[in-house]
Amino acid sequence: MAAKTTLRWIDGKHFVGIDSTHHSVVLSGQSDGIGVKPSEMLLIALSACSAVDVVQILEKKRIALSFLEVVTTADQDHEPPWTFRKIHLVYRLAGDDLTPKAVEQAITLSQEKYCSVGATLRSVPQITTEYVIQPEKNSNPG
């Protein structure tokens, strides 16, 4: 199964990211304050990936949630490339039939089996690159 996203430059340090289902998010540099910082998008992706799993696992256990929030904090190097050294997720949940055992099981299953973002962060994926120089749209071919 292959995933595909597109990132388009708007101007300055502003970009729009588009996923395989055509949903989009605005991203920007740290000082711009217009979009999500790319490094923090990684933390959001980790939180969202796990949250989706937790919701589905608890639904399968017939436990209805009324609230779920995941707060993620991370220790990041102070020098480029500003690598995350430690990531911590705090799950805040509410629901009538929630038990510590059910919540712990759901989080463990997400982190150890289902969450692709977490699995990727724990491994070392191969990253390759290529480039294509396109002709200017306004250039005169003649």
* Entry pTM: 0.87
The CATH number given to whatever domain includes residue 41 is: 3.30.300.20
Domains in the chain: how many in total?
2
Confidence label for 31 from pLDDT (cuts 50, 70 and 90)? confident
Q: Is residue 129 part of a domain?
A: no
Q: What percent of the chain has pLDDT over 90?
A: 81
My answer on whether 53 and 78 are in the same domain is yes
**Residue 8 domain boundaries:** 1-36
My answer on whether 18 and 46 are in the same domain is no
Q: Looking at the predicted structure, is the pLDDT value of residue 85 above 80?
A: yes
Q: Looking at the predicted structure, is the pLDDT value of residue 39 above 70?
A: yes
My answer on whether 59 and 109 are in the same domain is yes
Question: Can you give the C-alpha Rg of the chain in angstroms?
Answer: 19
**CB crowding 84-103: b at 16 or more within 10 Å, else e:** eeebebebebeeeebeeebb
Q: Looking at the predicted structure, is the pLDDT value of residue 1 above 80?
A: no
At residue 140, the pLDDT reads: 57
77 contact partners, CB below 8 Å, separation of at least 6? 83, 85
Q: Looking at the predicted structure, is the pLDDT value of residue 139 above 80?
A: no
Q: Is residue 8 part of a domain?
A: yes
Q: In Å, what is the CA distance from 30 to each residue of 11, 13, 16, 17, 40?
A: 15, 9, 15, 16, 10
My answer on whether 60 and 90 are in the same domain is yes
Higher pLDDT residue, 137 or 76? 76
At residue 130, the pLDDT reads: 93
Q: How far apart are CA 7 and CA 136, in angstroms?
A: 19
My answer on whether 67 and 116 are in the same domain is yes
Confidence label for 74 from pLDDT (cuts 50, 70 and 90)? very high
